[in-house]
């Protein structure tokens, strides 16, 4: 696809870049932001002229609906720089479509393509030098929208603010990851907003994750809310299980996010003649596979981490360490995917889009 440049945009650029003050070799994920951000307000039933301005705080009413009723959605994307110095996005149309799907679910206005994608293109062109080359380096992109109408009546907002902020990034997770399978807490429920990238989905899992951390685990593998027998997501990521030489991952649903990395890995695996089955995996099935040795790998998949291997899992009072496999599907597929994203391998899927 080709992203059209947004022409109707106001530019208010910083007089001094802070880029020379940043140590790009020692970044903490999501804590450093580029010089500029995009802002576009929805007022009186229509989107106003978007503006690119210096990254800075802004004022908002204490009674803004976002604080009281949680109308807030976001996306996670990345930009990559190739050896020629060109900047590329990875499947941005998927993020755009999912963002508006989330907006509809939370009774928020859909963002026009020219604002979301066209505005993003212009913003990255301005802050292009913040996208660094190299293994694991990227520019993390956070589009989000919040309800800004004042008043504490329990109803959807009339006014909204759409924004995009950018953050230079290295790998999201590091070190060994051990998980615990949830048998009480739930990430999402049927009929709820689990398939939307709503802010509340993430805050709801902080407490059970904190409990897991206190027991020495880094993340939780979530199970279905009704029976806690079906494996669904791992922390903030989709999750894959390798039993013998087949990869399994749960189907998307009202409870499970339609991850862009997830669907890309499925397509890549099929191209590489790796057997993939999209179906519900039962907890009992995973435990049995761990006990008989047929469980080879578990890994999470998401924009920030790309692929995150899991070293072991606990369920109730048992812990299962995963074997060290010589030919890891997780690492193999991660390399294939990141090579496409970084333009060091041919993109036969036409997933990458030049800025």
Give the mean pLDDT of 80-109: 96
Give the mean pLDDT of 272-299: 96
Grade residue 173 by pLDDT with cuts at 50, 70 and 90.
Answer: low
pLDDT in tens, 111-130: 999 999 999 999 999 999 99
Same domain, 14 and 152: yes
Q: Which of 170, 193, 211 is the last residue of a domain?
A: 170
Q: Which of 121, 136, 170 is the last residue of a domain?
A: 170
pLDDT in tens, 32-70: 999 999 999 999 999 999 999 999 999 999 999 999 999
Q: Is the dihedral of CA 98, 3, 168, 61 positive or negative?
A: negative
Same domain, 113 and 260: no
Residue 346 lies in a domain: no
pLDDT in the model for residue 198:
94
Task: Print the domain residue range for 165.
Answer: 10-170
| Nearest CA-CA partner of 238 in 142, 303, 166 | 303
Q: Which has the higher per-residue pLDDT, 193 or 175?
A: 193
Same domain, 50 and 136: yes
pLDDT in the model for residue 175:
66
| Environment class of 176 (CB within 10 Å of its CB; exposed 0-12, middle 13-18, buried 19+) | exposed
Q: Which of 145, 170, 195 is the last residue of a domain?
A: 170
Same domain, 157 and 193: no
Q: Which has the higher per-residue pLDDT, 134 or 249?
A: 249
Residue 24 CB partners (closer than 8 Å, separation 6+): 132, 137, 168
């Amino acid at each position: 696809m080709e992203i059209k440049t947004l022409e109707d945009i106001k530019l208010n650029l910083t007089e001094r870049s802070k880029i020379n003050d940043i140590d790009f070799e020692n970044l903490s994920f999501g804590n450093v932001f580029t010089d500029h951000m995009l802002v576009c307000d929805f007022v009186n039933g229509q989107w106003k002229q978007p503006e690119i301005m210096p990254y800075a705080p802004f004022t908002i009413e204490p009674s803004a609906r976002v604080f009281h009723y949680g109308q807030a959605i976001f996306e996670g994307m990345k930009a990559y720089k190739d050896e020629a110095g060109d900047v590329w996005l990875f499947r941005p149309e998927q993020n755009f479509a999912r963002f508006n799907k989330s907006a509809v679910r939370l009774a928020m206005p859909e963002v026009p393509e020219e604002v979301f994608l066209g505005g993003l293109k212009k913003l990255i062109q301005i802050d292009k030098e913040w996208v660094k080359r190299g293994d694991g380096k990227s520019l993390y992109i956070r589009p989000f929208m919040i309800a800004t109408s004042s008043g504490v009546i329990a109803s959807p907002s009339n006014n909204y603010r759409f924004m995009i902020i950018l953050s230079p990034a290295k790998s999201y997770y590091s070190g060994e990851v051990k998980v615990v399978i949830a048998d009480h807490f739930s990430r999402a429920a049927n009929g709820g907003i689990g398939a939307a990238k709503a802010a509340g989905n993430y805050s709801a899992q902080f407490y059970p994750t904190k409990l897991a951390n206190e027991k020495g685990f880094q993340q939780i593998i979530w199970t279905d809310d009704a029976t806690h027998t079906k494996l669904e997501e791992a922390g903030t990521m989709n999750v894959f299980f390798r039993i013998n030489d087949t990869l399994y991952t749960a189907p998307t649903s009202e409870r499970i996010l339609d991850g862009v990395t997830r669907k890309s890995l499925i397509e890549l695996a099929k191209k590489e003649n790796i057997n993939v089955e999209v179906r519900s995996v039962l907890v009992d099935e995973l435990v049995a596979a761990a006990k008989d040795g047929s469980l080879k790998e578990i890994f999470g998949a998401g924009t920030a981490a790309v692929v995150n291997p899991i070293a072991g899992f606990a369920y109730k009072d048992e812990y299962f360490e995963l074997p060290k496999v010589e030919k890891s599907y997780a690492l193999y597929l991660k390399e294939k995917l990141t090579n496409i994203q970084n333009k060091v391998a041919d993109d036969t899927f036409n997933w990458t889009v030049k800025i």
